[in-house]
Amino acid sequence: MQPEQPKYAAVEICRKQFYSSYRMLCTLVDVCPDSVWFSCYYGFDYPVWYQVYHVAYFVDFWLRDAYDDKEFHCMVCSEYIAPEFEHKPPEGLIVSRADMKAYLCKIDAKLCHFFDSLTDARLTQPILSGKDQFTYLDVITTQQRHIMYNIGYLNGILRGLNLPESDWYAYNEAESAE
């Protein structure tokens, strides 16, 4: 007889892997100087702060308790900033690093609740009726990939300016003593 598997083992792996990426996003906000935070690079029309806002917004949007027919609202920094890149933020409207840190802290509290509400069995349950390809595991891994895609781009900017970057972090790897 096989030993019974814990009902939260996979959830804890997902939580730790996701938080490895999320920690890198938070670190990027910490290490990015304001001169870079408010600037645009590589012909991209949006400043660094907007790219971070875009990532944070969609983590906030997708990692939630309920995916029912009710309209869902994120804990946005400003209702006037659309999260999609096809909408430029209004002239003069910005999100400071301090405001972004506060937003990321609010999202972190929400993420704790989100992961605490999951079980291993629930990870593979569809979140939308009739859409089997949208499970809790799908939205977690998709947002993790979304964070890392953007961290790579933003770290490239910092590297190109010879600035400290958001170093690689993984919960299950020993950190180097520097």
Tell me: the pLDDT tens digits for 33-51? 999 999 999 988 899 999 9
What predicted TM-score, i.e. pTM, was given to this entire model? 0.87
Bridge partner residues of 135 (DSSP): 126
pLDDT category at 29 given cuts 50, 70, 90 is very high
Concatenated DSSP letters of 14-37: HHHHHHHHHHHHHHHHHHS-HHHH
Who contacts 25 (Cβ-Cβ below 8 Å, separation ≥6)? 52, 55, 56, 104, 147, 150, 151, 166
HSE-up of 19 (CA within 13 Å, CB side)? Answer: 16
For the cut 90, the answer to whether the pLDDT of residue 130 exceeds it is no
pLDDT value, residue 77: 65
- Using alpha carbons, select from 28, 21, 86, 89 the residue that is nearest to residue 59: 21
pLDDT value, residue 116: 95
CATH topology of domain 18-160: Four Helix Bundle (Hemerythrin (Met), subunit A) (1.20.120)
Distance between alpha carbon 132 and the CA centroid of its chain, in Å? Answer: 23
Who contacts 38 (Cβ-Cβ below 8 Å, separation ≥6)? 47, 48, 49, 94
